[in-house]
Structure 1
């Protein structure tokens, strides 16, 4: 692992020497070429200095100074010495900082500008563009500037950073008069406007700094947050810098140092990003993350701690700190403007001032560390609180920093932490707040190691710490009766937990060992046991938490990768779980974990899939059930229930029996009675016409069901999958069966690819019509050719293809990177070498696909070694590359 050192004091490139003064008539072509060359030389010298380790802030200031010289030179060439007009730098340029590709923002104040002066200004700005500067400019009269500033807080804010580059010095006072006017945006109004702007800006980024492709400038915890603090400090407290804010008591020394260090990281990343992208890019896109990690000296430690993950962890830690302190300092500004409230006692140690909680004794946290946790418990018991007083927040931070991880070994602190966890769902909000104050990582040091830790894939949308807290919040939703409609099983289970703290502990530890190398579930189990022992939990409670951490992926992998309609699969799962209590806890953890991994992962299909496994496992765990229901008994039960459904529709028993005589027993083993009834009804209504295509928009497990009843032929599966891909449907499960008379009885469960929702009625009908038309053609439909998304192309992995014997069939496992048309491509590879598909399990995890097929040759025999090799090569040609492993 490479640690990036603090920027070294590298000599900065000298300021540019400008060409000789030119007449006011403008900048001649030769001088323009010289200025263009000069700016290029400056940028190349600065890039070299950055590569050698120079400080990004110093380099951005040097570029700002260099560009300012050029801008002043061009202004003089186009306008000369003028009165009644002045040129001001605004934005980042006004703050004296220009990153490699930043825009040059300019404001001209001009009193009654006549046409000749306007033409000169147009010439000035055109020249600046011509020599390679990306200029944003505005020309305003003073009265107009004042009017706009009064209407728009953003315009007013831009003037706070303005400084005059050239022109009439008298306009300095005019601009200062606008900025310093107490009637323009008084403190309360300005604070409200800036907080509203912050909230709207953060909402565009899902209110989190933990996006996979975060915005360095405008995202939560980005550089804009630090700028906003300075603007608020200047307007509300006449303290425009972090040091000034410390002097005014708005920051303590440690906070100022932390913010300065975080700002150094963010500026360094932004400088490198501009160089890497070659344009004013502010997003840490996947396109650049690996290159930036290399540019900044990060190296892979091992397969589970990549250099790019370390690089992104540096960003997330800096942004998280800026976001946390930014929110707290904003609260201090709010408190500063509020009228003080009378004190109301809250227990022996705390006191309430209006909507904020404070400590009675300023030294309480130092004298009794457990009070650090207790104040968060006290907040739960006080309705209407919005937080702590500014002084109390500061003391929480100071005491947490001083005590450090010693809190994790303090019996009283751990006892208080356990009391908090025993509150169940309400404790989750307290844990979120503790994390914002840095306290959770002190009480639980292992949590600090995953703070800001990303996983470089498309499956895990959040960093490990953010994901963990979202999992806890999802658990808390199960305690809310209003969530019963969306999570009926979870809401039924949660109130039955006598010890909800065990569920919260399992959530806290389930991913806590990510990034260390090795199996994070095994390592996390060890951590969970050790911490639960510190909490002095009973052995049986420790065992439950440890088991949940160790097997937290068991239920999701069983449901998504195995056939849960197979009683043997359910029984193996039930045997591993052991009892109803573990099953209940595992179900809650599994659902909360999936939702907390990515908002796109949870859908009605997975909801029903897990619910079915949960229900089947509870049945298998009944004390009077020792063995799975025998296959023949399950077939008989399914036939009886389906028959009753069809008789209720008015169908005759003889007609039903005629259809079922052609159905294999596997139909009744693999399908629900409702599906059998629906398929049977469709066949009878078709009166022998084939191919028969039926689409049930909302069928089992919240999916759309496609039923294909046709003369079986090679290429049928390939045509169906190709059409589904063309119409943007995702296949989540496929059952490929053959009737006694050689007809295909194929069932596909589908979701819309874009929304992961079932199809609408019009879409279902469109699918039926188009597939009916396609199957009427003798030739298979070719897969569509579509380009891979920008995201997916950065997460390519060599496909892994494995063959295993499975009785009279061969099992094929295909693990690879997802891409448009993958299943259709695999189906055509099988068609190419004469392989038939009899069953398919389709699972997608972010950018990773894990598909399992049961296949045979054209004679329904298992594949020979030679046939497996031919299929392997065909699959590699269509879905993989030469680096694949078999």
Structure 2
């Protein structure tokens, strides 16, 4: 019935839209190029809009259609204006009108707006006179960038020209102001949709290096030269032949990809999420290799295109950047010559004409310039970089001389702007001439939710993060500043993950690469050994800190001996922190820094690299302090007995006043009511939940508590199960509250304690109810498509008194409870737990004993534990 109320022109347009979209979809599936298909989509929309415009003109009372259209001009703009229209794109129209024709124009616009909506298209429109359109565009960057790509569709040609020609002329006159406004607007958008070109789930329209980068060239080209077509910008010398080709190829690739996203979704869709990446990789015929998934191959191609856009757009933007009036006047006065060819200004370093003509194409000279730029803390000015870029764009062969090797290591020695300069070398493809394995890592995706960048971007980012430690006011900053051979640390960071993308373990492949790099740079045997060691064992410190019980001093001693001498341990500590920081924003948090720093401090004791009291002295000092606090207490003997049974880790990490407070509550605890406290640790940014029970009364306390905590929407980071004197158990859990950032309110903490206490005393020991979390269909598809295989490992070597069970599997709700309960049902007691979650993958580590509190040696039983865990987790996954 609703269709009967539509006008005939609307019904016809609606039918045409459905028919044409279906036909265009078949053409897309048959392989029609993206640019060509977008032009055909635009033609389809044009045809529909023209019919609706004529129908709306017929509907303006008191005026003939000819009179209406003589006083209006229909102007497509934005993507519709440049004919980049995707199947379900919005339509942006500006309706220009004569100043004396406003009321009829309003009636016309209302009719057109309703008809376009009824057809099923989304219309963005404005109604303006030519002078209003120009004025608004010149005062608002968003309006300007949309109207910069306009074309005539219908109505008065002369009216359109009264807008288009003055707009083009005034844009060029206002270029300096427009440039700043456009760049500010783009910076805000990029911060929202992804600053880095190698983000894992990009928006192919708005993220860095995507269609928006090409559009930026067009918008700024229009403002500067009055031209927005790439060919026209090439003709006026604004972009090189190579950049024009790079941008045109990327435009074709991205438009075809965008058409696929739209057609598959049946609506506007620009997000290339993980599910779509998997689907399109299969659709495009990527087969993968032994070391690379098909989706990783597909995304490597994608990132190669977006990197090309990023580099070309950045170069164009820099080439037309208006020079500061201040610098143009005072810059020459404030610039000093540091040698014959380098001139250091207030913000940038520049080169002489002679250097540009004779030396810009020599790698050694470019490295010399970069070393100077780093030493003086200056950017390389654009005219110099433009010449360098042009010289090396042909991918010329580069000979690695002894001088080149020395200069590159000298560049690595100074933090400064090292990350930025390494990216510049990588952009020129010179970094892979110096370190050949960077070519394999270029744009190489790691298809997981943990790493936010491609392998090459991550490696360079870790160097930049390490350099940033220079300004930290803590142990991490002190250690970084004290490292003598920073070049060796930075080189290790630059190559530490280059072994990824091969079938073999990436640390082992990386160690071989490190040997080749060491030989390539003629490193001394000692430096070569350090470089290979840092790459081979770059994960060891993080695995020990977050997967093992580091209260075991023998374990710390072995780690120290394996990674000594002291200078090498310093490098490993900084490398580990930088590796975390280079994963993505916020990954290296205060909690991780504290845990790694504690392990570093204690390891350095064994290497003579720290004057801190040794472990025995620390324990004795802490015990004496606690003894003084309970002296004269009516239960002094009980307190001393229990204090003497506290493990080293608990004593070291817990303030004396808190220990006494916990023990007082433990001493006063009733058998039917376990002690539960919840404290926010501001120094770590986590909640510390402490539970006291009697061992005989609370069998299987770990799985019970795990269920209680995780059912309250809290993530367990680590757990300690401490068995004390007199059969007492004092457990401590470090958790993050998903419902609150920072310190939760007092009522939340009290509620957590009450719920945990209630659950622990429930005689039924029933499984808790976990709050459901909504996930989209695409998320579920991605999880299914990249399901991480479950792996169970048994370690009977590391701990003297415990069997260590490691569970590697895909994260899901209630997982930790499921594992811990199964361990309990198999008659195992959990003494220490380490929980590491990387968004989509978990590594849960449990130190366990059997019912007799003994380590498990029987191979048959160990195999049974592995089998039971694997089957239970596989059943849960199915």
TM-score, normalised to structure 2, is 0.87
Does the 8 A contact of 1:369 with 1:407 survive in 2?
Answer: yes
Candidates 632, 643, 647, aligned match of 2:623 = 643
> What are the Cα deviations for residues 698-725 of structure 1, in whole angstroms up to 9, with x where unaligned?
2896643322112332453333222322
Candidates 439, 445, 459, aligned match of 2:430 = 439
Candidates 376, 380, 388, aligned match of 1:387 = 380
Tell me whether 1:539 sits opposite 2:529 in the alignment.
no
1: CA distance between counterparts of 2:485 and 2:37?
56
Per the alignment, do residues 168 and 530 of structure 1 end up closer, same or farther by CA in structure 2, a change over 3 Å counting? Answer: same
Tell me what 1:672 maps to.
651
Tell me whether 1:515 sits opposite 2:501 in the alignment.
yes
Candidates 711, 715, 718, aligned match of 1:733 = 718
Per the alignment, do residues 263 and 160 of structure 1 end up closer, same or farther by CA in structure 2, a change over 3 Å counting? Answer: same
2: CA distance between counterparts of 1:465 and 1:196?
28
> What are the Cα deviations for residues 157-209 of structure 1, in whole angstroms up to 9, with x where unaligned?
32222222112223212322551352896111111111211222222245222
Tell me what 1:423 maps to.
414
How far does residue 241 in structure 1 lie from its aligned partner after superposition?
Answer: 1.8
2: CA distance between counterparts of 1:192 and 1:638?
59
Tell me what 2:806 maps to.
813
Per the alignment, do residues 639 and 88 of structure 1 end up closer, same or farther by CA in structure 2, a change over 3 Å counting? Answer: closer
How far does residue 727 in structure 1 lie from its aligned partner after superposition?
Answer: 3.0
How far does residue 509 in structure 1 lie from its aligned partner after superposition?
Answer: 0.9
Q: How does 1:160-239 map to 2 (within 5 A)?
A: 160-182=148-170, 186-205=174-193, 207-239=195-227
> What are the Cα deviations for residues 260-289 of structure 1, in whole angstroms up to 9, with x where unaligned?
222222223222222233321222112311
Q: Which runs of 5+ in 2 are unaligned?
A: 58-64
1: CA distance between counterparts of 2:651 and 2:685?
14
Per the alignment, do residues 713 and 409 of structure 1 end up closer, same or farther by CA in structure 2, a change over 3 Å counting? Answer: same
SS at match of 2:206: coil
1: CA distance between counterparts of 2:413 and 2:618?
45
Q: How does 1:696-735 map to 2 (within 5 A)?
A: 696-698=679-681, 703-711=686-694, 712-714=697-699, 716-735=701-720
Tell me what 1:10 maps to.
none
How far does residue 311 in structure 1 lie from its aligned partner after superposition?
Answer: 1.6
Q: Is 207-216 or 766-775 further displaced after alignment?
A: 766-775
Tell me whether 1:132 sits opposite 2:110 in the alignment.
no
Per the alignment, do residues 771 and 537 of structure 1 end up closer, same or farther by CA in structure 2, a change over 3 Å counting? Answer: same
SS at match of 2:350: strand
1: CA distance between counterparts of 2:876 and 2:735?
31
Does the 8 A contact of 1:87 with 1:165 survive in 2?
Answer: yes
Q: How does 1:539-688 map to 2 (within 5 A)?
A: 539-622=525-608, 640-652=620-632, 655-659=635-639, 661=641, 665=645, 667-673=646-652, 675=654, 677=656, 678-685=658-665, 687-688=667-668
> What are the Cα deviations for residues 564-590 of structure 1, in whole angstroms up to 9, with x where unaligned?
111221122123213212111111111
Does the 8 A contact of 2:791 with 2:870 survive in 1?
Answer: no
2: CA distance between counterparts of 1:807 and 1:585?
29
2: CA distance between counterparts of 1:524 and 1:812?
28
1: CA distance between counterparts of 2:609 and 2:105?
93
Tell me what 1:271 maps to.
259
Tell me what 1:412 maps to.
403
How far does residue 50 in structure 1 lie from its aligned partner after superposition?
Answer: 2.5
> What are the Cα deviations for residues 109-129 of structure 1, in whole angstroms up to 9, with x where unaligned?
233556665444333333323
Per the alignment, do residues 775 and 165 of structure 1 end up closer, same or farther by CA in structure 2, a change over 3 Å counting? Answer: same
How far does residue 30 in structure 1 lie from its aligned partner after superposition?
Answer: 5.8
Does the 8 A contact of 1:408 with 1:445 survive in 2?
Answer: no
> What are the Cα deviations for residues 226-273 of structure 1, in whole angstroms up to 9, with x where unaligned?
112112112212332222222222222222222222222222322222
Per the alignment, do residues 709 and 280 of structure 1 end up closer, same or farther by CA in structure 2, a change over 3 Å counting? Answer: same
Tell me what 2:27 maps to.
49
SS at match of 2:732: strand
1: CA distance between counterparts of 2:345 and 2:563?
50
How far does residue 69 in structure 1 lie from its aligned partner after superposition?
Answer: 1.3
SS at match of 1:612: helix
Q: How does 1:388-403 map to 2 (within 5 A)?
A: 388-390=381-383, 392-402=384-394
1: CA distance between counterparts of 2:359 and 2:228?
31
Does the 8 A contact of 2:549 with 2:832 survive in 1?
Answer: no
How far does residue 60 in structure 1 lie from its aligned partner after superposition?
Answer: 0.6
Tell me what 1:329 maps to.
316
How far does residue 456 in structure 1 lie from its aligned partner after superposition?
Answer: 0.5
TM-score, normalised to structure 1, is 0.86
Per the alignment, do residues 652 and 676 of structure 1 end up closer, same or farther by CA in structure 2, a change over 3 Å counting? Answer: farther
SS at match of 2:251: helix
Does the 8 A contact of 1:698 with 1:759 survive in 2?
Answer: no
Candidates 367, 372, 375, aligned match of 1:378 = 372
Q: Which runs of 5+ in 1 are unaligned?
A: 1-25
Tell me what 1:22 maps to.
none
How far does residue 649 in structure 1 lie from its aligned partner after superposition?
Answer: 3.0
Does the 8 A contact of 2:604 with 2:610 survive in 1?
Answer: no
Per the alignment, do residues 759 and 284 of structure 1 end up closer, same or farther by CA in structure 2, a change over 3 Å counting? Answer: same
SS at match of 1:478: helix
Does the 8 A contact of 1:642 with 1:674 survive in 2?
Answer: no
Tell me whether 1:70 sits opposite 2:30 in the alignment.
no
1: CA distance between counterparts of 2:138 and 2:207?
26
Does the 8 A contact of 1:697 with 1:760 survive in 2?
Answer: no
1: CA distance between counterparts of 2:127 and 2:373?
52
2: CA distance between counterparts of 1:689 and 1:561?
32
Candidates 827, 842, 852, aligned match of 1:849 = 842
Does the 8 A contact of 2:419 with 2:461 survive in 1?
Answer: no
Q: How does 1:244-259 map to 2 (within 5 A)?
A: 244-259=232-247
1: CA distance between counterparts of 2:225 and 2:683?
62
Does the 8 A contact of 1:751 with 1:758 survive in 2?
Answer: no
Does the 8 A contact of 1:351 with 1:360 survive in 2?
Answer: no
Per the alignment, do residues 689 and 107 of structure 1 end up closer, same or farther by CA in structure 2, a change over 3 Å counting? Answer: same
Does the 8 A contact of 1:605 with 1:702 survive in 2?
Answer: yes
How far does residue 73 in structure 1 lie from its aligned partner after superposition?
Answer: 1.6
Does the 8 A contact of 1:733 with 1:842 survive in 2?
Answer: yes
> What are the Cα deviations for residues 630-649 of structure 1, in whole angstroms up to 9, with x where unaligned?
xxx96xx6764443222443
How far does residue 540 in structure 1 lie from its aligned partner after superposition?
Answer: 1.6
Tell me whether 1:39 sits opposite 2:27 in the alignment.
no
- Number of corresponding residues: 842
1: CA distance between counterparts of 2:789 and 2:739?
25
Tell me what 1:6 maps to.
none
- How well do the aligned residues superpose, as a CA RMSD in angstroms? 3.5
